[in-house]
Amino acid sequence: MTLHWDDMRVFLAVARAESLSGAGKVLRVDPATVGRRIARLEQNLGAPLFAKSPQGYAPTDAGMRLMAHAERAEQAMGAAQEELAGQEGGLSGQIRIGAPDGCANFLLPQVCAEIVRDNPDLDIQIIALPRVFNLSKREADMAIGVSPPEAGRLTVQKITEYKLHLAAARGYLKDKPPITTPEDLRGHRMVGYIPDMIFDKELDYLSDLGVERVPLASNSVSVQVNWLRHGAGLGVVHDFSLPMSRPLRKVLPDHISLTRAFYLIRHADDQRLERLNRFADALTAGLRNEVQRLEALT
């Protein structure tokens, strides 16, 4: 019996997507073809690799054992391709980054644009979703988080700290009594996250301020910022977003100031891939510089 890398690639796609259709999208083939490939692989190995249920395809014990070998083969293939291609020149190929949408909207576009200018053969994809990314399922090559994960075969690097302040549009503040103390916030409409959709405790800003009701709530930072820009109320915003949201100004900056951090999260096995290491170095340096630059403008 001989195992081929192409079979391992199909197997890994199903294991990570937990469905034939999801794997088909990744592989760009028909789901029926994926199913036939898996059935043929199971027949060759003499063991079922997946248990099918209404929730999807879950690896069996044999599937879990095969996954460890398949992932090592995947890493070896990636390392071989890099070495044969030579990495003394610019970066190339595709790299996918997962990030919370505050970072994805206000920092990553300009940072990644600069990296691509220096590496014209490189394709960068940014997934801006308000949730934790599963790197074990290869949803992304690396992810940016607002807190370090506590489980999984991952490496974590602190990128930079950033600040947040309460803010509102100048037009909104002009029509209201002066806000000079935290007590003056009573009666103001608050803008923030949907409470039961806050995916990380570090994003629960308004609870830190004792706010119990959020009349205007969204799981998207950009929606919150646009509400504030249109004079809808008060909300906590990243300082690095303020230069791109000129109608906004800080409120009670001497009383209310929050500090958080971004972390670069990668699969532990990817440390052997020089291409991703070089990209990670450029990304972290770019983010640090951009946060520092934008915060200096506020």
Do 130 and 269 lie in a common domain?
A: yes
Residue 133: predicted pLDDT: 67
Q: Are strands 216-217 and 122-128 parallel, antiparallel or unpaired?
A: unpaired
Do 112 and 234 lie in a common domain?
A: no
Do 105 and 171 lie in a common domain?
A: no
Do 133 and 152 lie in a common domain?
A: yes
| Closest of 52, 73, 71, 51 to residue 61, by C-alpha | 51
Confidence of residue 4 (pLDDT cuts 50, 70, 90): confident
> Tell me, what DSSP letter sits at residue 59?
E
Of the listed ranges 34-48, 84-98, 151-165, 205-219, the one predicted with least confidence: 84-98
Do 182 and 135 lie in a common domain?
A: no
What value does the mean pLDDT take over residues 126-153? Answer: 81
Q: What pTM was computed for the model?
A: 0.75
Do 180 and 255 lie in a common domain?
A: yes
Of 85, 110, 143, the domain-final residue: 85
Residue 148: is its pLDDT beyond 70? yes
Do 166 and 35 lie in a common domain?
A: no
Residue range(s) defining the domain that contains residue 117: 93-160+261-295
Do 153 and 276 lie in a common domain?
A: yes
What's the structural domain count of the chain?
Answer: 3
Contact between 261 and 164 (Cβ < 8 Å): no
Confidence of residue 72 (pLDDT cuts 50, 70, 90): confident
Of 61, 85, 109, the domain-final residue: 85
Specify the residue for token string 């930079």. Answer: 160
Confidence of residue 188 (pLDDT cuts 50, 70, 90): very high
Confidence of residue 252 (pLDDT cuts 50, 70, 90): very high
Residue 95: predicted pLDDT: 93
| Closest of 152, 148, 132 to residue 140, by C-alpha | 132
Of 65, 85, 105, the domain-final residue: 85
Of the listed ranges 73-87, 158-172, 238-252, the one predicted with least confidence: 73-87
Q: For position 97, which CATH number holds?
A: 3.40.190.10
Do 170 and 253 lie in a common domain?
A: yes
Q: For position 212, which CATH number holds?
A: 3.40.190.290
Do 17 and 76 lie in a common domain?
A: yes
Contact between 292 and 243 (Cβ < 8 Å): no
What value does the mean pLDDT take over residues 69-74? Answer: 80
